[in-house]
Amino acid sequence: MRVLVTGAAGFIGSHVAEALSAHGHETVLVDNLLPQAHGGPADFEGVVGDVRDPALLADLLAEVDVVCHQAAMVGHGVSPADAPDYVLHNDFGTAVLLSAMHEAGVHRLVLASSMVVYGEGRYECPAHGVVQPGPRSPEGPYDPPCPTCGTLLTPGLVPENAPIDPRSTYAATKAAQEFLASAWARQTGGGVWALRYHNVYGPRMPRDTPYAGVASLFRSALERGEAPTVLEDGNQRRDFVHVTDVAQANVSAVEAMPENGTLTPLNICSGTPHTVGELAEELAKACDGPAPEVVGGTRPGDVRHVVADPSAAREKLGFTAKVTFEQGIADFATAPLRAPASRA
């Protein structure tokens, strides 16, 4: 198939593009080389351009069978002052792309979404069953209480039908991307796979930037000879999934036919949760660096536990992550990272 990959020079997008080519697909690559993602000139052989440019998209979409939309401004960000940039790149850019796809008669989309759309994960109270957790205190206790009785909740696996509850500007824009794509599918009869990536790590992550993930921040600190700094008590649980597995999930989604007229969300995860503290400890050992420092406190918008249910991706795409946590961390300890990214 002929696949347009947006954001194809980025951390995840570059792996997706390579995996598609390795599986025999013809790829059309575009990226506008955002400073937040790239931090300098990139070795990129595709089209340097912006998905907010309808004329460019009209050319790129010629004879395309499916679009794999990875382009986005990512990460926790610096402050709410980033909001206009996030909305312009993520939501307006997606709206322009969907319009261009309609004009070009392209009806299949693989959308890079994120676990951040859930906010907190799934929690259960012994007395009140599955509940949306109440607010947390920055000073602790860090585990969220039941909003009705105040009892500390038990975290579980978050399924795709969990409520959407974004807690950051980035999360809000990813949720909006899903809503825009869902509306497009209903209006056009197109089909969308929304791949909700969990905590992706691996080669080519941008180093030492507020727009990167926690694995990159830990690795960058260790390269400087510094101890990784772990917020809260280090027991916050996540699903860390290697970027090569995420790329394979995209290949599976490109090759699988989505249901027409709808958006189907899927957790893309390893299925094996670990704590942030475990990530810091394993990476410090693999890098032969100083032990992590647990400093407490939270960032606004941070959530406690988000652990995914991987069953839907397995059933609908045949996707199961292959890289174990131990293998992935050992690889990541020496994997090449990108030059420091910066604010635009």
Question: Active-site residue numbers?
Answer: 170
Cβ neighbours around 140 below 10 Å, total = 12
What DSSP letter does each residue of 167-217 carry, written as one string?
-SHHHHHHHHHHHHHHHHHHHH--EEEEEEE-EEE-TTPBPS-TTS-HHHH
Residue written as token pair 């996030």: 86
- The gap from C-alpha 149 to its chain's centroid, in whole angstroms, comes to 33
Q: What is the rounded CA–CA span in Å between residue 295 and residue 85?
A: 31
Strands 154-158 vs 66-69: parallel, antiparallel or unpaired: unpaired
What's the CA dihedral at 164, 36, 269, 217 to 10 degrees? -110
**Burial label, 336 (beta-carbon count in 10 A; 0-12, 13-18, 19+):** exposed
Query: Rounded to 5 degrees, what are φ and ψ at 30?
Result: -145, 145
Cβ neighbours around 330 below 10 Å, total = 15
